[in-house]
Chains A and B, each alone.
Chain A
Amino acid sequence: MQIVVDLTRCQGYAQCVFLAPDVFELHGEEGLLYATAVPDDQVERVRQAAAACPVQAILAGEGVSAGAR
């Protein structure tokens, strides 16, 4: 699973950091860094984080596969 966080929307509430600390981390006071490719054992936690984000900034899904139609 791939994720992207809309950081124009993210307000650094850090709910995602509590729910999936192996994927999301705060860099400084409120800069969010995250693993763009989510390891399989973190998928469920990331889903919870995406649901909990107060500004719905986390988008999870699959990437376009090469040769897709």
Chain B
Amino acid sequence: MPGDLQDGRIVIVGASLAGLRAAETLREEGFTGSLTVVGDEPHPPYDRPPLSKQVLLGKASADTTALPMRRDTDADWRLGVAATGLDPLEKRVMLADGESLPFDRLLIATGTRARPWPNPEEASLDGVFTLRTSDEAGGLAERLAAGPGRVLVIGAGFTGSEIASACRERGIEVTVAERGPAPLVGALGGTLSKLAAVMHRNHGVDLRCGVTVTTLRGDGNGRFTGADLSDGSRVDADVCVVALGAVRNVEWLAESGLAAGPRGVACDAGCRAFNMYGIVTDDVFVAGDVSRFPHPLFGYQMLSLEHWGNAVAQAEVAAHNMVSPGPLRRPHLAVPTFWSTQFGLNIKSVGVPTYSDHVVIAQGSLEARRLAVVYGFQGRVTAAVTVDMAKSLDYYKHLIETAAPFPPPLGSADRAIAADITIPSDVPDPSGLSHGPTVALTGHLPDRRLTVVQPTG
């Protein structure tokens, strides 16, 4: 029935966290039409964070992280087939098996994939892995269980650090190579990256910062045996994990006319996709890691997040808006939140730590390995990171939401002595890091192609 938003055909491309949560929400909100979810992986939706934690620790196998459903989605799950194109005029999604799916409204939730090692021949050596999918995690977990002599991890972002941590917990020797000055520096800035480096070294990681890996070496039979580093040194290892960040799955949208590029698919605060001219569409929505969306707390710049909590929150807003008329639509304003566990520490972040000029240690201390660091930008609180202090996070989240002054006012009884001593946040230019940032401010424009469009006639 045209015009009835609770009916019609909805297609979701991407059968993972955002795709599943959107499907559930559509039904929760009363959508009674046909729902098709397309996913190129053969597996039903599964959870990725355990892949670098429980799975690499040997506590769960890679094929057991299926995501529970909140409710029956009554959807047609088209798994193991990729979407290859989008015709926005005919309103069809083209599939790799030659079929095309007509839709009234579409949700793009194709997420990201692991950035591959740039040399394909070296990347195909037996023993070289990336970590994004359950199949990759299964293969890597098997190698770790076999007790390799040494593992080389390239990139010390969150994923690389968690992999190194899991290896050490299993007693496996590990070398971490990072181009930047310290682990996690791109995500958390200078102060906490110092703690991260200490944690690596105290747990026996051979941490090499300020170096790049130049060549992966094989033994002539296609087996990985080690790598050459830019400082002239060589690392002998049996397994290599390339943890260089993520690439957005947008290639299938190249001809769609949408504002889709390396930083994601741009959408408005209501998750509606922009086309390449910056005009908002009303039938194509975006959610999860593949999206870029404006956030009022961060100067309305477009944010790209690789955060589990964002995929859930944005999928729910997108689904709600897909079945709601204009005035009842909601904005996606959730404050970015992220967690990581590594080397026995629980690291949680709220806000955008890289959107900062100064930080203070508001509670605890680096020495105690228990602290809350608050980030400020131009005199306003923009982020906070806690290490083993998760219960404080809500308080700082409130400061961010209310644009509280920085350094933050007295709030907690266990306020650190140094709580008003601000230090530069020391966030480096991401181009000098091995791994990509999991939070990125990507400017104000939906598409850079905008600048080359000439008015005609």
In the complex, chain A residues whose CB is within 8 Å of the CB of B393: 11
Give bound CA distance, A63 to B68, whole Å: 4
Q: How many residues on the A side are at the interface (Cβ–Cβ under 8 A)?
A: 33
* A3 (CB) vs chain B CBs: closest residue: B68
A-contacting 9-mer, from B58-66, B85-93, B144-152, B409-417: B58-66
- From the candidates A34, A59, A63, name the one contacting B44 in the complex (CB within 8 A): A63
In the complex, chain B residues whose CB is within 8 Å of the CB of A68: 44, 75, 77
Q: Are B68 and A33 in contact (CB under 8 A)?
A: no
B324-343 vs A, CB cutoff 8 Å, 1 = contact: the mask equals 00000000000001110100
Give bound CA distance, A69 to B36, whole Å: 9
Q: Are A33 and B388 in contact (CB under 8 A)?
A: no
Q: Shortest CB–CB separation between residue B63 and chain A, in angstroms? A: 9
- From the candidates B50, B65, B68, B345, name the one contacting A61 in the complex (CB within 8 A): B68
- From the candidates A31, A37, A64, A67, name the one contacting B45 in the complex (CB within 8 A): A64
* B344 (CB) vs chain A CBs: closest residue: A28
Q: Is B105 in the interface zone, CB < 8 Å from A?
A: no
Q: Is A7 in the interface zone, CB < 8 Å from B?
A: yes
Q: Is A30 in the interface zone, CB < 8 Å from B?
A: yes
In the complex, chain B residues whose CB is within 8 Å of the CB of A4: 47, 67-68
Q: Are A12 and B54 in contact (CB under 8 A)?
A: no
- With contact pairs A31-B341, A62-B69, A64-B45 given, residues A11 and B60 touching in the complex (Cβ less than 8 Å): no
Q: Are A33 and B54 in contact (CB under 8 A)?
A: yes
- With contact pairs A63-B69, A67-B77 given, residues A33 and B53 touching in the complex (Cβ less than 8 Å): yes
- From the candidates A12, A36, A65, A69, name the one contacting B346 in the complex (CB within 8 A): A12
Q: Are A36 and B60 in contact (CB under 8 A)?
A: yes
- From the candidates B50, B66, B339, B388, name the one contacting A64 in the complex (CB within 8 A): B66
Q: CB within 8 Å of A: which residues of B?
A: 15, 20, 43-47, 49-50, 53-54, 57, 59-60, 64-70, 73-77, 79, 307-309, 312, 337-339, 341, 344-346, 348, 370, 388, 390-391, 393
- The 3 A-B pairs with the shortest beta carbon distances in the complex, nearest first, are A63-B66, A28-B344, A61-B68
